[in-house]
Homo-oligomer: A and B are copies of this chain.
Amino acid sequence: METDQLEVVRTISHLREAVARYRAAGETMALVPTMGFLHEGHLSLMRQGRSDHDRVCATLFVNPRQFAPGEDLETYPRDEAADIAKLQAEGVDLLFAPSVGEMYPTDAATTVLVTGITDCLCGASRPGFFEGVATVVTKLLLQALPDTAIFGEKDYQQLMVIKRFARDLDIPVTIRGGLTVREEDGLALSSRNAYLDQEARARAPELFRAISHAASEIASGANVDQAVMEARERLRSAGFNEIDYLDHRDAETLAMATDISRATRLFVAAWLGQTRLIDNVPVV
């Protein structure tokens, strides 16, 4: 077969056929699950997969189960043709782009539930979100059974939740994180940046700047509460109309950080108009 041609499959059985061909040839595979509308952040994960594996499989599925009623499921940006062109240009081997019906039979009744680590941050502000993520990612991992699956650190809590349930359920796949890719002004790449008008786009980089500044203050020994309060003030001044959270937390357990001898991070979710942006940075 032509190895530099992207193969697009839409059913689980076709996905498994393609993966079985790779396996029969003794090849390794990395999986990169996405909700599409691909940007350089996603593509960096594809390259990361390519660097360690013979094959890279991307998935494109806007998962209805991780959107609460009133969230942006209907308006979530989509452009499959552009996504396919980008994956093709990156030399990705396989794209799995299933329908909602292929993923969820009408009598589907099973949920993967992760407790504790999901109670804070986005888990607190988006009820049901991590159940939806854990359920769909479990399915994708078991449909494809790659050696490795890669998720961006921009969604850091999601990455930790996925690592946790993959370990707890003994899913035989290594979970890896990929570094956040940023615009030149620091804004983390996100498909939801497409929602920002010109004015909001100009304000958005303050999210990264505020937590980066607070992180370096904390690393230098500043009072945590003071640094967090200043960062919140900075976001309000920059025009963020609501802050879901701005927290200093343990990088592994996600508990509020009390001890910076362990790895810690600053996490933020805040709104510019109707657009919710998230970001996080290590405290170093």
B142 touching A110 by the CB < 8 A rule? Answer: no
Name the CB-closest residue of B to A139: B170
Count identical subunits in the complex.
2
Stretch at the interface among A111-119, A202-210, A231-239, A256-264: A111-119
Asked if A194 CB lies within 8 Å of chain B CBs, one says no
Q: Are A109 and B105 in contact (CB under 8 A)?
A: no
Interface locus among A48-56, A83-91, A160-168: A160-168
The closest CB in chain B to the CB of A135 belongs to: B169
How near does chain B come to A130, taking the closest CB pair, in angstroms? 11
A132 and B169 CA atoms in complex are apart in Å by: 12
Is A243 close to B, CB under 8 A?
no
Are B115 and A169 touching (Cβ within 8 A)?
A: no
> Residues of B contacting A170 with CB < 8 Å?
12, 139, 142-143
Q: Is the CB of A168 within 8 A of B108?
A: yes
Kindly state whether residue A138 has any CB partner on chain B within 8 Å.
yes
CB atoms of A165 and B110 under 8 A apart: yes
Question: Across the two chains, which residue of chain B brings its CB closest to A111?
Answer: B113
Tell me if A269 counts as interface (CB < 8 A to partner B).
Answer: no
> CB-CB < 8 A to A107: which residues of B?
116, 253
Shortest beta-carbon distance from A93 to chain B in Å: 20
Q: Determine whether A171 belongs to the interface, using a CB cutoff of 8 Å to chain B.
A: yes
Q: Are B109 and A112 in contact (CB under 8 A)?
A: no
Q: B-contacting residues of A (Cβ < 8 Å)?
A: 12, 16, 105, 107-117, 134-135, 138-139, 142-143, 145, 164-165, 167-172, 253
Given A105-B167, A110-B165: 19 more A-B contacts, CB < 8 Å: A12-B170, A16-B172, A107-B116, A107-B253, A109-B164, A109-B168, A110-B113, A110-B169, A111-B112, A111-B113, A111-B115, A112-B112, A112-B113, A135-B169, A139-B168, A139-B169, A142-B169, A142-B171, A142-B172
